[in-house]
Amino acid sequence: MDDFHVCAKVKMSTGTVKIKGTRKFPNSEEGFKEFYAWAIKRVSDEDELSFIMEATGVYYENLACFLYSHEEYVSVVLANKIKNFAKSLNIKTKTDKVDSKIIAELGLERKLEKWEPLSAYYKELRDLCRELLSLKKDISKAKSQLHAMNHSYEKSSRVVKLKKEQIDFYKNVIVEIKKELELLVSNDEELKEKLKKVQTIPGVSFETALVLASETNGFRLFKNIRQIVSYAGLDIAFRESGNFKGKTKITKKGNSRIRHALYMPSLSAIQDNEPIKRLHERICERNPEIRQKGVVAGMRKLLILVFVLWKKDQEYDKNYKWG
């Protein structure tokens, strides 16, 4: 993303909303400075200045950190919340300029939570975990390609050799990243102990627990289960009206890396974690043709378990009676 669109809105004493300006700025350090000076000029001393932006991958982070360093009130809103707010305004047009006006309107109407950046420590953990997930996808793809090569007719031996070297490279980097992650965790006794307690949940490994912790900044910004489930995109979207009952599914509007990290642990938990196994069976009985729903339900329950144990600083109790 090379630039970003902004809209400055002010609520007048009469209750009416006035647009103070719209503009596009480069997504760079110079662009941030230019934008900040532009924004300051458009508010009076009596106005409360706040900056609202959409969580667009990692592209918002530099601007958010820049504004945070200037002690400004910054809020970062998930895309699905902005989309739902636009629907409430009956706005169907979607352009960057229109979106900036919608986000500014949201900031005026709602009291949004203040955003805080990841600590340097958690950011390093998150970046390494993300690279690890990316490399695992790459090595899986490369192995599938090698398998196809080995079964193809007279495939070039040179190409096969290169593919094997590529897989070996991925393996070596994965080992290196895992060692670095273990070293980083060993330097923080509190994090180390919390990860150990979370790993007492059947199906949750060190790597899974670390991905969840690093993607959520140690769950610092989440006050309840609903918030963390929504952030992961594992909240349920119901579609019902009168006698009509549409398909019920998860929103997938959230952190895809958390969902990816929970998928294999959910499959494992279905076998070894008795409460999740029973949950999976109940879901599959109701949805015999869509057994994947049982796996997703297991992902959601694992995330809730990790969140609760992390907050309570407790180990998993297999005899705990679930509500």
- Are residues 101 and 55 located together in one domain of the fold? yes
- Are residues 212 and 302 located together in one domain of the fold? yes
Question: Angle between the 189-198 and 206-215 helix axes, to the nearest 10 degrees?
Answer: 120
The pLDDT averaged over each successive group of 10 residues in the chain (323 residues) is: 90 87 94 94 83 85 93 88 86 87 92 88 94 95 94 90 96 96 94 95 93 92 86 69 53 81 91 86 82 87 94 87 58
The model's pLDDT over 126-155, given as tens digits with 9 standing for 90+, comes to 999 999 999 999 999 999 999 999 998 888
This prediction has a pTM of 0.78
Is residue 198, in this structure, part of any structural domain at all?
no
- Are residues 18 and 50 located together in one domain of the fold? yes
Domain span holding position 129: 121-187
Cα–Cα distance for residue pair 132/130, rounded to 1 Å: 5
Which of 109, 129, 147 represents a domain boundary (last residue)? 109
Is residue 197, in this structure, part of any structural domain at all?
no
Q: Which of 101, 109, 76, 85 is nearest to 21 (CA)?
A: 101
Is residue 11, in this structure, part of any structural domain at all?
yes
Cα–Cα distance for residue pair 101/99, rounded to 1 Å: 5
Is residue 196, in this structure, part of any structural domain at all?
no
The model's pLDDT over 35-88, given as tens digits with 9 standing for 90+, comes to 999 999 988 877 789 999 988 777 889 999 999 999 999 999 877 788 888 888
If DSSP states are collapsed to H, E and C, what string results for 273-292?
A: CHHHHHHHHHHHHHCCCCCH
Query: b/e string for 100-114 if b means 16 or more Cβ within 10 A?
Result: bbbbbbbbeeeebee
**271 HSE (CA, 13 A, CB side):** 6
